[in-house]
Structure 1
Amino acid sequence: MKIALLGYGKMGKAIEAETLKRGHTIFLRIDSEEEWKTKENLLSQADVAIEFSMPDMAVANIHKCFSCNTSVVVGTTGWEKEFDTIKKECLDGDNSMFVASNFSIGMNVFFEVNKKLAQLMNRFGEFDVSIEELHHKHKLDAPSGTAKVLADQIIKEIERKNKWVSGKGSSADELNIFSKREAEAPGTHLVSYLSEMEKIEIVHTAFDRRVFAKGAVMAAEWLQGKQGFFGMGDFLFD
């Protein structure tokens, strides 16, 4: 495959290494508005674009992929307000797009465990549930996109929770998400159910960003020849 990298920070470089390791070619790198001006006309020649840029750049980059009919894998988070609009544009325009807040295989298994645990805990009102997430200091969005997915899954299954809040909420129907940013800390997500007498915790820790890079390249491989709007659930479990 000829891959275009949209965003060339730490994740972009990790994806580049994984791409070459798996026998593919980095056809194009774009990491700034200036580079878009000189390279946008080349995007249509790529087999797929992998988008790991910044929250305020992601939507524009996706639109550019749609415009030139290039499949795109998106890992940037922080643009959730545009999600439904982008999904509709993808499907209406017969485009090809793969979106995930987390490309780790382990994390996506964790999502399934989280849903099942929430279903089981719905009947036990004495347990209060919360989420903690820890990332390196360079991560801009908080809570993380992964934490938001976990929270939405829990809210769907637990009737006593109606919305999530960042930090300590003031109402019993709020699901608290606590975010920390520390140095080069590995990405960690912890879901906790606490009662007066016991606690249940599930946790996932990613020790190396290569796990996300590998998942993103595998998603790009899987997306070839497909049309539509996809996620990790389609790739791993369908």
Structure 2
Amino acid sequence: MRILLIGYGKMGKTIEQMALAKGHEIVGKIDRDNAHELQNFSSKDTDVAIEFTHPAQAFRNISYCLSNGIPVVSGSTGWLDKFEEAKNLCQQKQGAFFYASNFSVGVNLFFHFNEYIASKMQAYKEYEVAVREIHHLQKVDKPSGTGITAAEGILASYTNLAGWVSDNPEEKTKLNIASEREPDVVGTHIVTYSSEVDKIELGHIAHSRAGFAEGAVMAAEWLIGRQGVYGMKDMLNL
């Protein structure tokens, strides 16, 4: 499989190692210093692109791939205000687009269990629900995409809450997502249900980026030959 890496930071480098170990070929590495070279790639020389970049560049990169017949797997966060545009473009171009806020198999099982627990806990009004996410100091977006996905999974059952809010626990009409940034933290996500008498927690702690990279390469392999917009639930049959 011929893979174009768009974004060559820590995640891009880890994906490269994982892909090469599985026998795939890296046909290009696009980063801020050579962003203009993206226009040199097409479906003739690229089987799939894996895109992990800054929120400001993500939609442009995804649009380029879809417009030029390159299936694209994206894990960039902070750009989802344009997600519907990306979906529409994918359908218009009859392309293939796979998006996940987090490619870890463990995190996506966490999402699955989170939705199930929320569907049960919403009946017990004495418990107040909250989301907490902790990442490394270089993490640009707050809250994280994974934290937002966890919140959305809860909100599907908590119809009394009017969406989520960032770092504002005093806003009782919305679900609070607390964001913390600490050195050398890969990613921690915790959902808490607190009452006056006890607390219930569901959490996921990543020890390394390897799980994210492995999931992204798995998604790229899975996307080949497909058409449409997909996510981890499709690939993992959750």
TM-score interval for Structure 1 and Structure 2 normalised by the shorter chain: over 0.9
How big is the shift at 1:43? 3.5
Partner AA of 1:55 in structure 2: P
Q: Is 2:163 aligned against 1:155?
A: no
Q: Which moved more, 1:169-178 or 1:7-16?
A: 169-178
1:169 Cα deviation from its structure 2 partner: 3.8
Question: Deviation at 1:35?
Answer: 2.1
- Cα separation, partners in 2 of 1:88 and 1:38, compared to 1, 3 Å: closer
1: CA distance between counterparts of 2:171 and 2:220?
A: 42
Return the alpha-carbon distance in structure 2 between the equivalents of residues 178 and 36 of structure 1. 33
Which ranges in structure 2 are unaligned for 5 or more consecutive residues? none
Residue 41 (structure 1) aligns with: 40
| CA distance in 1 between partners of 2:3 and 2:159 (Å) | 44
Query: What are the residue-to-residue correspondences of 1:60-71 with 2, within 5 Å?
Result: 60-71=60-71
- Mapped partners of 1:30, 1:43: distance in 2: 14
Query: 1:30-109, aligned counterparts within 5 Å?
Result: 30-32=30-32, 35-44=34-43, 45-109=45-109
Aligned to 1:199: 199
2:222 aligned partner? 222
Offset at 1:39? 4.8
Structure 1 partner of 2:23:
23
Distance in 2, matches of 1:134 and 1:20, equals 30
Out of 184-193 and 155-164, give the one that drifted further: 155-164
Gapped regions of structure 1 (runs ≥ 5): none
Letter aligned with residue 205 of structure 1: I
Percent of aligned pairs with the same residue?
45
**1:231 corresponds to which residue?**
231
- 1:157 partner SS: coil
SS of structure 1 residue aligned to 2:41: helix
* Secondary structure in structure 1 of the residue aligned to 2:29: strand
Cα root mean square deviation, aligned: 1.2
Q: Is the 8 A contact 1:121 1:158 kept in 2?
A: no
- Whether contact under 8 Å (1:28, 1:43) holds in the other structure is no
- Given that 1:95 and 1:228 are in contact with CA atoms closer than 8 Å, whether structure 2 keeps it comes out as yes
Q: Deviations over 1:65-124 (max 9, x none)?
A: 012100000000000100111111111220111000000000001111000100001111
- The separation in 1 between residues aligned to 2:113 and 2:29, in whole angstroms, is 37
Q: What is the correspondence of 1:139-178 to structure 2 with a 5 Å cutoff?
A: 139-178=139-178
TM-superposed CA distance for 1:136, in Å, is 0.5
Cα drift, residue 146 of structure 1? 0.6
Stretch of structure 1 that moved more, 17-26 or 41-50: 41-50
Aligned pair count reads 237
Quick check: 1:11–1:213 contact (8 Å CA) kept in 2?
yes
For 1:178-225, what per-residue CA distance to the aligned partner results, in whole angstroms no more than 9, with x for missing partners? 101111113000000000001100000110001100000000000010
CA distances 1:2-47 after superposition (whole Å, capped 9, x unpaired): 1000000000000000000111010111112x52434522243110
Whole-angstrom CA distance in 1 between matches of 2:189 and 2:35: 35
On the 8 A contact 1:15/1:217 being kept in 2, the answer is yes
